[in-house]
Each structure stands twice: as structure tokens, then as C-alpha cells.
Structure 1
Amino acid sequence: MDPNVCRCEACGISTNGMVYECEGCEMKIDVKCASLPTTVRHASHPHRTPLVLTRIPPAREEEAGKPRRCHVCRYLLRNCIAYCCSSNDCDFALDLGCAMLPASITMREWDKHHSLMLSFNASLDHPSDFICDFCEEELHPKRWMYHCRQCDLSFHLFCLKAASGWYRNIKFGRRFELDGIHRNHPLTFNHNTIKRRCNLCHVDRYDYGGFECASCYYVVCMICARTELAKMMQHLFAESHRLLGK
């Protein structure tokens, strides 16, 4: 039952779009990752050599040389697929989640006039400090960020969840008839950007995916929605077996 949010095993980002699934182990890879080119040239890479899509084994520490880390998030790359520099004397690498960050994003609630550009060094001609306008924490000027130079707006890469963060591959806005959760009106699958209290668990949720009714402001968080959807599916499964048994 939709929205069918699952985690792509290649990039680690959640999606409710089309995926490839292994029938044996149920591993899922979204269409974007499955369609990636084997080599790319990335603007953040200081050398001209291309980055090659590389399978990194589970334990690189047993191999000769220094273990690779993602140039952006600094996570140790083990048992994964990443873009690595093809030169033997360069350890530059990007995991797929960082390599696939959009070059620009549009967030009209933050910037009505411009797109936010992915910047690899926003310190040029910018004498003051950088503060993330979302979380209000300091940004390192020479690390990746989303930035608008005209409006002097800056954001951490993953603070804007629906645009560049963990929800960037999830399609919001679809409406569902979920009588087992809310009988009166259809519920819309949305990203809640204001603090709302779930009507089932009564916990405040903020910056989180969930369902909401536009008519009566009924809200259900994703945790409760999954639990209720699982109960509905079990009931339908049991009912179908009962009818087939007759």
C-alpha cells in the first residue's frame, strides 16, 4: 500500500518512487542509482581526472593504503558503491548520496527570487561568517553548502530535507482514502514543516513525513500510519483467506 517508502541500498536515501528489487534478498535500488554512469567529472574534484563508479569491499583497512572517506560527509566508505578518483595518487571519493546532490534547489519559502546553488567554497568575496538559516548553526566556509550570494542565505546540505536532505527522493502531495485511520476525509501525504501533534500517538512531530487532512487538520505521523496500514493489510489478508476457504 502506498506511499511505499523504502531505503535505497545504493545511496541510503529513502524513496517512494520506482525501485529495482531482488526477489531473493529483497534488496532495493532506486531508478536513479540504477541508471548512474560509470564515470563522471565533478566540479568539486580538484583534478581533471574522472571519478569512477567503484565497488568498495567491506574491510578496506586490510588492504594496502589509507581507507577512503567521502569527501563531503566524511563517512568511512566500506561495503558500498562510491565515485572514486581514477588516479592512483588521489584518494578523493564521493558516496552516492553526496555525489547525487542537486546542483541547485528552489525553496520559495526561504528565497522568493533565486535558486540556492550548491557551493563548494562560498568564502570567496564573503568576509563574514556563514550561519545556516535553518538550524542557525555555524557553517564551515570551505565546505559544501547551499548558498544564495545575492540574498546572503546559507544552508547545511541536509537541513532542507525535502529539497536536498533525506526526503529529496520522496514525492509528497498524493491523497489517500484510509478509512482505517480517518474515515471522514482523504489524507494527504505531506512533509510537516510546522510542529503538529499526531492524533494517534499524541506526540509532537516537526520536519517529518506524515498524513494530514486539509479539512479538519487531522494529523497522523509516519510511525502510526505504518502501524495502522500494517493492521489493515493483515485484516484484508485474513479476510481473503477466509473467503477462499469457503
Structure 2
Amino acid sequence: MRSKTCDLSELDILKDNMTIMCGGFGGVGSPPSVIEWILDSGIKNITLICNDAGFPWIGPGKLVTEKRVSTLIASHIGSNPEAGKQMHRGELNVQFYPQGTLAEKIRAGGMGLGGILVDVGLGTSVEEGKEKAVVLGKEYMIEPALTADLSIVACKQADLYGNLLYDQSARNTNPLVAQAGDLTIAEAAEIVQIGELDPEQIVTQGVFVDHVIKSKGVDWKWVWELKREG
């Protein structure tokens, strides 16, 4: 069985104007090495799909702070003041969804569905321009599914085939995101041989993962220095 492990320097898949979906919640469960790789690549005009904007110095928030993102699809941005500033200046297009709706839109994309039915926002400005459907006498808005050119996730363990285990709350949106990308990169704290993971504990199956890279971790001293300065 072919190993999916590689070094990020071997991949030539990044380009301007691509859609990137990132796992994580407030930076927890986001892949730090992959995000740094994207930053170093210099690509811009990214459409970024993630639960939130992270923090200016943590998680996908770095991409926003460096102004690499033109459109952000998220449930909130309150933890990243830079995202709010760019939005109010008209530099960043932000599309908000309730957290559950956003997660379901991503799940639907990973399952190959066209969309989901929601009733949150009916009777408000949210329904403007939305297609609707009536099911069992009840009206719903149709929310299209979300997919991405590239999904990036972080995990505690991965085997060579790309089966993934997550670390407690870092599991959050990662399993959904891993399934919704045309390509998926998993950043693993530990990579093990095929057969070492308990099949009953595997959360994301390797069929959804294209590349596995070893995480370099986060330089937390650098992070906290930035926090003190900010």
C-alpha cells in the first residue's frame, strides 16, 4: 500500500484565488505547519472556509492578518480584531453562518450532497435571494453545500495511509473538513505504521486524505511574545 506521507516542499498545489477549508476552533485543531507553508508560498485572494477567524497570531487568523484572504466564510470573527478591521474597510468579504449551519454545509459537501434545508433566518434579511422548499408543509431555505480546492486539518495520529485520530476537543470541525476538499492534507503530531491504529478509534478514514505531513508544532514562546506586544 502506497504511503501518503510527504514533505510540504514536494507539493506544488497552491495558487492564487483558490478555496481553502481549514479545520479547527479558535486555533485549536488547526494545522500550524501547513498554514505557515501557505503563508510562505505568497499566494493571495484566498477564499477561506473555517469555523472562525482564529486569532491574529494563531491558526488561520495568520492568513487574514497577512491579507492573503479576500473572502472569509465563517461563524464568527470576534477573536481576530484584524478580520473586523478589514471587513469594515471593505478589504475582506465576510460571509457569516450560524455554527451548526456552517458545519452542516461542510458535511453536505463531503457527502456529495447539493445542500441542506434550514429555517434559521426565515422572515429576516437572511432569506433574501435564497431558494426555498416546502417539506411536509414547512418552509425552508436551501443552503448550498460547501467544498474546497484544498482542505487542511490537524490530527494527533495518522498512519501511512492517512487514517486519522484527533486529540480530544481538537477533533471539532476537522473530520468534516477532511472530507470536503478536492485535496486534503493532514498534519499529524505522530505518524505510525499501517495497522498500529485501533480501527475502532479511527475517526477519518484514509480514503479522504491525500497527503500526510509531520507537524513541526507551534513555537508557543513566539506566540506569547506576539500576544504581549499586541
Is the TM value for this pair above 0.5? no
Counting helix residues as a fraction of each chain, which structure ranks higher?
Answer: 2
Q: Return the structure number with greater relative CO, CA threshold 8 A, min gap 6.
A: 2
Q: Which has the larger radius of gyration?
A: 1
Q: What TM-score do you get using the length of structure 2 for normalisation? A: 0.29
